[in-house]
Amino acid sequence: MAQKESGPYMAGDTGEVLLGVRHDTASITAADGKYTPLQTDAEGNLRVLGALSNGSTADAHRNNTEITIWASAARTAATTNSADLANYNARGVRLFLNITAATGTTPTLDIKVQAKDPVSGTYHDLTGVAFAQQTTTASLDLVLYPGATVTANRSVSSPVPRTWRVVATIGGTDTPTFTFSLGASYTL
């Protein structure tokens, strides 16, 4: 059935039904040059592989998103690793460090960012991606973004790796303790 451009839908209109095949995991298995059916996920969303493919599956497009790496809590002398953080399609990230208390004799807090090697699973420090050592309360940010003007302990010109984590090390004597939170905002 032919409709004029901008022709409104009318009850009783007829036409061809276009069907897709539900695949809960993305897969396009047809050989080059062969036809393949349209595919949908379990919610009926059309699967589209392309610019947001991670090499084996499709990543949902995300806008700027914010995450909590560590909620505010008192932490004592130790090295703490965050969980692995997944960067789906952001180019950069801004970290927000909020220290509300520091106690002990000469307490120190060092926070750095590491990238995870996708083959070996080992972590590597990202050069220059660290807050300056902290000894008292503070509210700081650290930017990791390609093309950013480089400022020591404030901004680094580099993209965010696919899988990364944050490492916090508290040192000092007489039971050093820092109460702090760390949040992040991914930037496209």
Q: 136-185 pLDDT, tens per residue? A: 999 999 999 999 999 999 999 999 999 999 999 999 999 999 999 999 99
Instruction: Give the three-class secondary structure for 114.
Output: strand
Domains and CATH numbers, the chain: 13-61 (no CATH), 66-187 (2.60.120.1110)
What pLDDT does 21 receive?
76
98-113 pLDDT per residue, tens: 999 999 999 999 999 9
What is the pLDDT confidence band of residue 39, given thresholds at 50, 70 and 90?
A: confident
Handedness of CA 56, 59, 65, 68 (dihedral sign): negative
Helix, strand, coil content of the chain in percent (nearest 5)? 0, 50, 50
Q: What is the pTM of this model?
A: 0.71
44-95 pLDDT per residue, tens: 777 665 445 556 666 666 678 999 999 999 999 999 999 999 998 899 999 9
What is the pLDDT confidence band of residue 4, given thresholds at 50, 70 and 90?
A: low
What pLDDT does 6 receive?
57
